[in-house]
Structures are given as C-alpha cells and as structure tokens.
C-alpha cells in the first residue's frame, strides 16, 4: 500500500461532494465506512444506512455545496479533513441554506481506497 497523500484525500473529498450533490448512493456506499459515525449539526447521530436511505428516498437533496477553508492532516493511513461549506438544499421538503463546517476522518484500506469512518458537522454562526 502506498503512503497516503494530500492529493488522494482531496480527490476523495471531491468525489464525496459530487456524490452528495447527485445523491449517488453507489458512490456514497463506496466512500462511507460500514460502521460510519456521523454527528450532524443538530447533535443527531446517523449511521451509513440512514445517510444512504435519505439520499435514496430523496428526503435529502443538495443543490449547492461549495467548499472552502479546507485543511488536511495526515497521520499514517488516516487523514482528518476540516472544511467549511455553503450548502443549499432540502431535507424532508424543508428548504435549507447555511454555512457549515465539517470534520471528517478518512482511513486508507489495504487496497488503497479511502473511506470516511467518522464525521461531525456544525453550523457556522
């Protein structure tokens, strides 16, 4: 396995951003670890299956997702990403628009692929 580098992490982050915007469940399934732990900006704990179901059932739609202030820290085969996003979309037919910061923990598997094992989001005041 090659050493993890920033370009790989940024590529995975972009693939995740596009998959979220397209509600691409197959790509999200590949990018999220089966045992994902995600705490959203409301403090709710969500699993991979809950996230995939929201996209699959179109309960969550994202029309704009602009990333900025992205920082990547790598330690061996683990990367921590902090990114600020401006998000527009709907959740359960309620329009959503906001400025959020996400922290994601990516782990590189033996085959070199990256998956998110933990994530947290918070609203930026």
Cβ atoms of residues 72 and 9 within 8 Å? yes
Q: What was the pLDDT predicted at 1?
A: 61
pLDDT at 17 over 80: yes
Cβ atoms of residues 33 and 98 within 8 Å? no
Q: What was the pLDDT predicted at 23?
A: 92
pLDDT at 2 over 80: no
* pLDDT band for position 94 (cuts 50, 70, 90): confident
Mean pLDDT for all residues in the chain: 93
| 87 phi-psi bin (left φ>0, alpha ψ -120 to 50, beta other) | beta
> Is 107 among the domain residues?
yes
> Is 63 among the domain residues?
yes
Query: What CA–CA distance (Å, rounded) separates 96 from 84?
Result: 16
pLDDT tens, 47-93? 999 999 988 988 888 999 999 999 999 999 999 999 999 999 888 88
Q: Give the CATH number, domain containing residue 96.
A: 3.10.450.50
Planar angle of CA 99, 60, 57, nearest 5 degrees? 170
CA 77 remoteness from chain centre? 18
Say which DSSP state 2 is in: P
Tally of domains within the chain: 1
Task: Find the domain containing 103 and state its range.
Answer: 6-123
> Is 1 among the domain residues?
no
pTM: 0.91
Cβ atoms of residues 25 and 48 within 8 Å? no
Q: What was the pLDDT predicted at 3?
A: 85
* pLDDT band for position 125 (cuts 50, 70, 90): confident
């Amino acid at each position: 396995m090659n050493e993890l580098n920033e370009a790989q992490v940024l590529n995975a982050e972009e693939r995740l951003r596009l998959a979220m915007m397209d509600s691409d469940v197959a790509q999200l399934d590949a990018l999220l670890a089966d045992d994902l732990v995600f705490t959203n900006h409301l403090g709710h704990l969500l699993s991979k299956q809950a996230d995939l179901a929201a996209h699959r059932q179109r309960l969550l739609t994202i029309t704009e997702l602009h990333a900025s202030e992205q920082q990547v820290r790598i330690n061996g085969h683990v990367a921590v990403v902090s990114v600020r996003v401006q998000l527009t979309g709907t959740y359960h037919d309620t329009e959503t628009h906001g400025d959020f910061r996400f922290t994601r923990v990516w782990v590189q598997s033996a085959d070199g692929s990256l998956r998110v094992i933990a994530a947290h989001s918070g609203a930026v005041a």
